[in-house]
Structure 1
């Protein structure tokens, strides 16, 4: 019964955070939320984008892993609550609805997983596995946004250098992982290659920005970084109580083996290796610091699990009560450190000018990444026809004056293609595609 209550609380709170545009779990969604918050993307488009980016991962990734160990992989709950929260209007009634539906969703996952998978297997064309491809290029492509921001603000030459070094850093991380060069005790430390590349690019961007010192010529007071970074970090700080409650509940759930933060620790827990699972979770958390911190500072949207150290606390704590307290404290410290980073950047006037370029760079890269991901997903569902449909949706949208924002074309097109593919197979006009 305790496990069911915890899963319900996690689902309810995570859906509420997503509905209020405070935090989402999908790393690819986090940079998109400011488009809705600042009025450049409507809620319906945001909901469809969330659905396309997360739905396939819930069924094709989160739930299957959960079934192997009878422990819920956190992705299966929080990717679902992203969709639930962002599908409802962000108002008082939407908040309540998201919490209720999210709680029911969490309880439903905890109570039984087999029936959920069986329902989606009934479709003649598998749309779940292909939809995973929609968000696949986002995190990988997103790591290049500092290089584009450098090119836009400083020079294309410096942008190319930043991009090349970021790519090299990513490949070195991959090599270190493959060679298992980093170890901690009996466990191998795995670096998050996208996070390494992203922080490398951010270092270049910050260094170039710090070195760029333009004197004020109009006699006005210097503009601090609050308009670019600090304002968004403060937005996260104001919600710290929500994050602390979320961190406490998740840490307690991890302590009782209701949830696991990643597939590696999940499998170790299924084998009874709690300490090794904690070490694996810690290594993953260290690798994700640059990715989560950078996106949080740039977007004002946090992750409901923070840097994921709350899973380490949950696994190492002697009981769920202490785990919950540690989870609250850890999340508080993380949010506090985000503000410290922002205040540090605020000392350098050259950095503040990067704000618009960062937003522009993120938007452009997301447009390309989501279009590629949508095209790949569509072509898996309808070989040949998928590329045709996505290409047609894109050019027709441009010719119509862009009624749908560019970054939504890939996800929406993939969903429409999945519907069309199932209708064609059902009518006998197309054979079910063979998917590897």
Structure 2
């Protein structure tokens, strides 16, 4: 019951914040919301835009990844509450309605995920175990994204250097873990090879980005132009603190995860590795989230996403909630200083969009490979055929389904088709 209440509170609060223009989860929506707040876009247009930008990601990305890992990917909830909150006009009666629907949506995601997984287990061909392979390549592949971001921003040569050093760092850690070289008090310590490689790549990206400094004498772009919008975010700090606390507590209970990488690590019981991956992702997204928040006056319900790491590393939900609230408060009151840093180092500011693009490309490939492996485990031979065909048909058709969703959705489709084959006597499932 505590878990359901927590999910309902997250859904309700996120929907209300979206409705009031305080915070939205979709980075693409954040620059659009002020247009409505300032009367330059109707609420109907905003609602339609929110639906168009978020619905496909909920159905095609958030929910399939959640099913694969048996932990709810935060996109499944907060992209949905963005739609709910932005469809309704702000008002004395409509805002509470948005909150109620958000709460029901949160409960629906919680019970719906359990119901789907339980239903899959009752089928003649239980493909849940096979479907779990969707996330396997994600963890290993994720360490590549800093090198990709470097290539996008600073060129191929620097990206290859970062990639090779990160790859070597990973292999050194594998060797050290195997030989039990690192010990504390006589007990061997195991480090995450992927986590270390990711940190090394991020260091390279940060160093390259900080080499680009502004040549202007008067730095006033973000720091002074958007003072009123930063003040607006600070005015709603208490609401955002509650959101951060709820998210951190839910993460601590392993109800939700902030990204596919940490989700898959957490579902495998690799808590510390999941925390490291979550931290790395949060640092990478600071430039993007900070710049959009400062320029629009609209924050995100999870802030810079450090609240997920706080939830993972906290000993219990209460401590997680307190830390989550404090982290959000600190982020908000550091926005002005961050604006000055982003103005001083334009390379860091520009890296935000490149990091997002790099992460997207890595996830597209990793989830496609994972989906193919899962599908082929469910129905050997036919699985590879189906995923390759599904991917190419989607490309030829103009990509009606986002690339990240092709692998997971295809694996689910193969599982359903495999069950039809089994019922028709065309396929004999292996002994389970």
Please state which band the TM-score falls in when normalised by the shorter chain: 0.5 to 0.7
Aligned to 1:155: 155
Query: What is the alpha-carbon root mean square deviation over aligned residues?
Result: 5.0
Aligned to 2:410: 413
* Mean CA deviation greater in 380-389 or 130-139: 130-139
Distance, in Å, in 2 between the alignment partners of 1:188 and 1:265 is 22
Tell me how far 1:289 sits from its aligned partner: 2.4
Match of 1:13 among 9, 12, 31: 9
Distance, in Å, in 1 between the alignment partners of 2:412 and 2:232 is 33
Distance, in Å, in 2 between the alignment partners of 1:246 and 1:290 is 21
Distance, in Å, in 1 between the alignment partners of 2:360 and 2:239 is 28
> Structure 1 residues 120 and 283, CA, compared in 2 at 3 Å: closer, same or farther?
closer
Tell me how far 1:385 sits from its aligned partner: 0.9
| 1:260 and 1:311 in contact (8 A); partners too | no
> Structure 1 residues 291 and 264, CA, compared in 2 at 3 Å: closer, same or farther?
closer
User: What pairs with 1:30-49 in structure 2 (closer than 5 Å)?
Assistant: 34=27, 41-49=53-61
Distance, in Å, in 1 between the alignment partners of 2:61 and 2:204 is 31
Distance, in Å, in 1 between the alignment partners of 2:223 and 2:196 is 25
| 1:166 and 1:198 in contact (8 A); partners too | yes
Tell me how far 1:384 sits from its aligned partner: 1.1
| 1:7 and 1:107 in contact (8 A); partners too | no
Tell me how far 1:282 sits from its aligned partner: 7.5
Aligned to 1:102: 106
> Structure 1 residues 163 and 299, CA, compared in 2 at 3 Å: closer, same or farther?
farther
Unaligned runs of 5+ in 1: 23-31, 59-74, 228-232, 269-279
> Structure 1 residues 126 and 327, CA, compared in 2 at 3 Å: closer, same or farther?
same
Tell me how far 1:50 sits from its aligned partner: 1.2
Tell me how far 1:389 sits from its aligned partner: 1.1
| 1:12 and 1:100 in contact (8 A); partners too | yes
- Residue 289 (str. 1) matches residue 301 (str. 2): no
Tell me how far 1:388 sits from its aligned partner: 0.8
> Structure 1 residues 35 and 431, CA, compared in 2 at 3 Å: closer, same or farther?
farther
Distance, in Å, in 1 between the alignment partners of 2:6 and 2:105 is 12
For residue 59 of structure 2, give the secondary structure of its aligned residue in structure 1: helix
For residue 420 of structure 1, give the secondary structure of its aligned residue in structure 2: helix
- Residue 431 (str. 1) matches residue 425 (str. 2): no
Tell me how far 1:165 sits from its aligned partner: 1.3
Aligned length: 378
- Residue 194 (str. 1) matches residue 194 (str. 2): yes
Distance, in Å, in 1 between the alignment partners of 2:176 and 2:212 is 34
Tell me how far 1:430 sits from its aligned partner: 1.4
| 1:380 and 1:433 in contact (8 A); partners too | no
| 1:16 and 1:85 in contact (8 A); partners too | no
> Structure 1 residues 119 and 149, CA, compared in 2 at 3 Å: closer, same or farther?
closer
| 1:16 and 1:99 in contact (8 A); partners too | yes
- Residue 54 (str. 1) matches residue 66 (str. 2): yes
- Residue 164 (str. 1) matches residue 158 (str. 2): no
Q: Alpha-carbon deviations, 1:193-232, whole Å to 9, x = none?
A: 434323322221222223245868xx998865999xxxxx
> Structure 1 residues 333 and 205, CA, compared in 2 at 3 Å: closer, same or farther?
same
Tell me how far 1:53 sits from its aligned partner: 1.0
Unaligned runs of 5+ in 2: 19-24, 32-48, 89-96, 258-262, 291-299
Tell me how far 1:90 sits from its aligned partner: 3.5
| 1:36 and 1:43 in contact (8 A); partners too | no
Q: Alpha-carbon deviations, 1:106-130, whole Å to 9, x = none?
A: 6999xxx8x9875432112223223
| 1:130 and 1:381 in contact (8 A); partners too | yes
Distance, in Å, in 1 between the alignment partners of 2:321 and 2:274 is 20
Distance, in Å, in 1 between the alignment partners of 2:282 and 2:175 is 22
Distance, in Å, in 2 between the alignment partners of 1:237 and 1:130 is 47
Aligned to 1:309: 310
Distance, in Å, in 1 between the alignment partners of 2:326 and 2:246 is 12
| 2:182 and 2:190 in contact (8 A); partners too | yes
> Structure 1 residues 337 and 131, CA, compared in 2 at 3 Å: closer, same or farther?
farther
| 1:190 and 1:283 in contact (8 A); partners too | no
For residue 123 of structure 2, give the secondary structure of its aligned residue in structure 1: coil
For residue 429 of structure 1, give the secondary structure of its aligned residue in structure 2: coil
Aligned to 2:93: none
Aligned to 1:211: 211
Aligned to 1:389: 386
Tell me how far 1:161 sits from its aligned partner: 0.5
Aligned to 2:364: 367
> Structure 1 residues 53 and 106, CA, compared in 2 at 3 Å: closer, same or farther?
closer
Q: Alpha-carbon deviations, 1:4-31, whole Å to 9, x = none?
A: 3x32332123445776899xxxxxxxxx
| 1:7 and 1:258 in contact (8 A); partners too | no
> Structure 1 residues 286 and 404, CA, compared in 2 at 3 Å: closer, same or farther?
closer
Aligned to 1:140: 140
- Residue 131 (str. 1) matches residue 124 (str. 2): no
Match of 1:398 among 395, 399, 404: 395
| 1:382 and 1:433 in contact (8 A); partners too | no
Tell me how far 1:179 sits from its aligned partner: 5.2
Give the TM-score of the pair, scaled to structure 1. Answer: 0.66
